[in-house]
Amino acid sequence: MMKQNIIFGIDVSSKSSTVCVVIDRIKQGETFKITNDSFGYQDLLDRLNQYLITPLVVFEATGVYSLSLQAFLEDYHIKYLKLNPLKAKKLMDNNLRHNKTDKVDAYRLALIQFNAPQKLRAPQPKEYHELQNASRYYEELAQALIINKNQLHRNLQSAFPQIESILSTSSGRVYWTIVSLFPHAQYVLNHNENQVFQSLLAISGIGKQRAHYLTTRLYALARQAYPYDNESSITIRAIQRNIANLLSLSAERDNVINYMEKLAMQANARSLNIYESIPGIAKTTAVRLVAELGDLRRFDTSAQIDAFVGIDPGRYQSGEKDSHLEITKHGNHLARKILYRTITQMETVKATQPCHITDYYDKKKRSSNSRGYKKIAIASVHKLIRTMFALIKHDQLYDYNVATHNQRL
């Protein structure tokens, strides 16, 4: 017998929402609309307060549009069920939904809790939402860095392509500062060696010996160059703009990760420590995993985390049986991306930091006849999720010896 038998089904749109009240599966009156603002939510609160038993609100997570509704419900301590849109669609389709209208959807959403009751979960602390906001901002900065790096590379091809080999890596603050000083080969040749040397010596991180070496190297590269654009070309301004952007974006990305680390320590310092104990997971990855996955203790099984991330397969791989791991690719795409990348990071440190997950990955690679290893990587992500969930659940740091003897991981 359900304790809660008054349901407000809410179909959320960008500017307004459609509300349907259902009591014991029976629709009460006509559906009504509210605006997604303080006035609309006051109207909703008045209607909720008409009942002696506080109704349950059911709605779909429609990205940014449902956030203000969620904030209102949490501020007034109103219980709610926020459904993943794919899960909501599946549950409504099981109830033979044929028509797609706001009125029908609001009603069908309300019926879900009668026909297929879902477990209610306490809202996560707001630090997790802020963490996810910061993680998304971090991703935007990372993508902007890639764009500007590519633009810088293209622009240098017609001004001074040889300078890209001045350091072992054509990235980072020191490299960008050198290029901003000498964006064109002629910028080097127009100055004497002492002037170039003093310019390089003024860069933080470059000592006298290195400045002498780089001066000689710059002159050799400048003499080798045969640029298409001259030193007064607009391309030079484009190069310097790229570099200004790169320095600014890089500094902001560092600020964001520091901010995220402080938030993660406030929200769940223990999870941060546990993630960092897993080989291949450094501070930045650990912080972003806390941000994108939230508190894993809110899940009942690791399979639920698979679905949340979007790597739940139609067919599974277990033991000696290799099935086709066709993942749904629905769910948190950034969490999926970070976890997938983590497997690569684990492979790079396995010589000094052994892990049962890389053991599994390597074993499957050796026995695979396929040229691609993406399916094996996805299976490894499944293992990583199971491991993370077990460690969080039992409040334990990673131990290779324990993990290798625990076949469930």
* pLDDT tens column, 134-151: 999 999 999 999 999 999
- Verify that 249 and 320 share a domain, yes or no: no
- What is the structure's pLDDT at 69? 95
Please give the pLDDT value at position 150. 97
Range 213-227 average pLDDT: 95
* Number of domains the chain contains: 3
Does residue 53 sit in the same domain as residue 90?
A: yes
pLDDT in tens, 353-409: 999 999 999 998 888 776 667 888 899 999 999 999 999 999 999 999 998 887 666
Asked if 226 and 304 sit in the same domain, the reply is no
Confidence category of residue 120, pLDDT binned at 50, 70, 90 = confident
Beta bridge partner(s), residue 262: none
Residue 182 falls inside a structural domain: yes
Please check whether residues 106 and 172 belong to one and the same domain.
no
Cβ 279 vs Cβ 349: under 8 Å: yes
Of 376, 374, 368, 408, nearest in space to 391 by CA: 408
Q: Do 343 and 396 belong to one domain?
A: yes
Q: What is the CA radius of gyration of the chain?
A: 28
**167 and 73 share one domain:** no
Predicted pLDDT of residue 118: 85
Q: Of 123, 141, 164, which residue is a domain's last?
A: 123
Which own/partner contact pairs does 193-199 have at CB distance under 8 Å and 24+ positions apart? 193/219
Task: Judge whether 262 lies within some domain.
Answer: no
Domain identity same for 172 and 62: no
Residue 281 inside a domain? The answer is no
Same domain, 162 and 198: yes
Q: Which two tokens stand for residue 188?
A: 């080097």
Tell me the mean pLDDT in the region 46-63: 91
H helices of 157-282, in order, are 173-181, 185-189, 193-201, 208-224, 234-276
Asked whether residue 104 is domain-assigned, the answer is yes
Q: Is residue 180 part of a domain?
A: yes
* pLDDT digits 0-9 by tens, 302-321: 999 998 888 876 444 444 45
Which residues span the domain enclosing 240?
Answer: 129-253
135-194 tens-digit pLDDT: 999 999 999 999 999 999 999 999 999 999 999 988 999 999 999 999 999 999 999 999
Residue 97: predicted pLDDT: 47
Helix (H) or strand (E) holding 18: strand 16-23
CATH code where residue 76 lies: 3.30.420.40
Cβ atoms within 10 Å of 298's Cβ, excluding its own: 15
**Residues 112 and 135 occupy one common structural domain:** no
Q: What's the CATH number where 147 sits?
A: 1.10.287
Q: Are 33 and 19 in contact (CB under 8 A)?
A: yes
99 and 154 co-located in one domain: no
**Is the pLDDT confidence value at 93 over 70?**
no
What mean pLDDT do residues 105-112 have?
A: 90
Distance from C-alpha of 220 to C-alpha of 225, rounded to nearest angstrom:
9
Token pair 């200004």 in the structure block, residue:
244
Measured CA to CA, the distance from residue 230 to residue 123 in angstroms comes to 60
Task: In whole angstroms, give the CA distance from residue 151 to residue 178.
Answer: 17
| Gap between the Cα atoms of 198 and 191, Å rounded | 11
Give the model's pLDDT for residue 96: 45
How many Cα atoms occupy the beta-carbon half-sphere of 34 within 13 Å? Answer: 24
**Measured between alpha carbons, how far is 60 from 220 in angstroms, rounded to an integer?**
63
Domain boundary among 89, 123, 157: 123
Conformation bin of residue 294: beta by default, left when phi > 0, alpha when psi is -120 to 50: left
- What integer is the mean pLDDT of 5-34? 93
Residue 285 lies in a domain: no
Question: Is 383 domain-assigned?
Answer: yes
Q: Which helix (H) or strand (E) holds 318?
A: none
pLDDT value at residue 4: 52
104, 123, 142 — which closes off a domain?
Answer: 123
- For residues 116-131, one letter each, b for 16 or more C-beta atoms within 10 angstroms of the residue's C-beta and e for the rest, the string is eeeeeeebeeebbbbb
pLDDT at residue 167, as a whole number: 94
Give residue 369's pLDDT: 72
Is residue 71 assigned to a domain? yes
203 and 93 share a domain? Answer: no
Indicate if 139 and 248 belong to the same structural domain: yes
**pLDDT(285) > 50:** yes
Whole-model pTM: value is: 0.82
Q: What is the pLDDT of residues 239-264, one digit of tens each?
A: 999 999 999 999 999 999 999 999 99
Strand partners, 22: 7, 27
| Phi–psi pair at 119, nearest 5 degrees | -70, 130
